[in-house]
């Protein structure tokens, strides 16, 4: 079975997405759970301001990401919480997730997307066409840099 990306549309999908994020961000990267899970994660299937996706491999959810559609000053929507389970990295699944969210943003009429990259992941995003902007800063104790891409 190939890698399959779908929107988070049920409580079970959301639980699977949050389980991936808990393994990656809370357990692996030591982000406090109260910072990792936020109001954008509440029943996303009922809302139009956020879009979560999950990636399944052989039926098991191994990856997730989300797109925040609430923009300010005509800005770009924000991709975040991009996570692939450690044992499944390096097979193109992260890139596939990013492209799925970029396609969603493009279909909604946005001209670009933005994100806050952990500095170790800057080359991953550069490979997709993102360009870094501004200085490095700390968020949840982790170095980040803002990046943008035109769609």
Query: What is the full DSSP assignment across the chain?
Result: --EEEEE--SHHHHHHHHHHHIIIIIIIT---HHHHS-GGGS-GGG-SSEEEEEEEETTEEEEEEEEE---STT---EEEEEEE-GGGTTSSHHHHHHHHHHHHHHHTT-SEEEEEEEGGGHHHHHHHT-EEEEEEEEETTEEEEEEEEE-
Residues numbered 58 to 117 that lie near ligand COA (CB under 6 A) are 82-84, 89-95, 117
Q: Residues 126-145 vs ligand COA: string with x where CB under 6 A?
A: -x------------------
Residues numbered 26 to 65 that lie near ligand COA (CB under 6 A) are none
Report if residue 9 touches ligand COA, rule: CB under 6 A. Answer: no
Compare residues 51 and 82 and give the one whose CB is closer to ligand COA: 82
Report if residue 123 touches ligand COA, rule: CB under 6 A. Answer: yes
Residue 18 structure tokens: 């949050």
For ligand COA, the nearest residue by Cβ is 94
Q: Nearest distance from residue 65's CB to ligand COA, in Å?
A: 8
Report if residue 2 touches ligand COA, rule: CB under 6 A. Answer: no
- The binding site for ligand COA (CB under 6 A) comprises 24, 82-84, 89-95, 117-118, 120-121, 123-124, 127
């Amino acid at each position: 079975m190939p890698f399959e990306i779908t929107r988070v549309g049920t409580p079970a999908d959301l639980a699977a997405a949050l389980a991936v994020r808990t393994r990656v961000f809370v357990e692996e990267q030591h982000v406090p759970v109260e910072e990792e899970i936020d109001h954008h994660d509440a029943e996303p299937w009922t809302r139009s301001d956020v879009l979560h996706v999950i990636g399944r491999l052989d039926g098991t959810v191994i990856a997730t990401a989300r797109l925040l559609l609430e923009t300010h000053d005509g800005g770009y929507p924000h991709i975040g919480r991009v996570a692939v389970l450690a044992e499944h990295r390096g097979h193109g699944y992260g890139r596939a997730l990013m492209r799925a969210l970029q396609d969603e943003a493009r279909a909604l009429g946005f001209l670009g997307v933005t994100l806050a990259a952990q500095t170790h992941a800057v080359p991953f995003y550069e490979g997709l066409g993102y360009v870094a902007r501004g200085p490095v800063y700390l968020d949840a104790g982790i170095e980040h840099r803002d990046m943008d891409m035109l769609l």
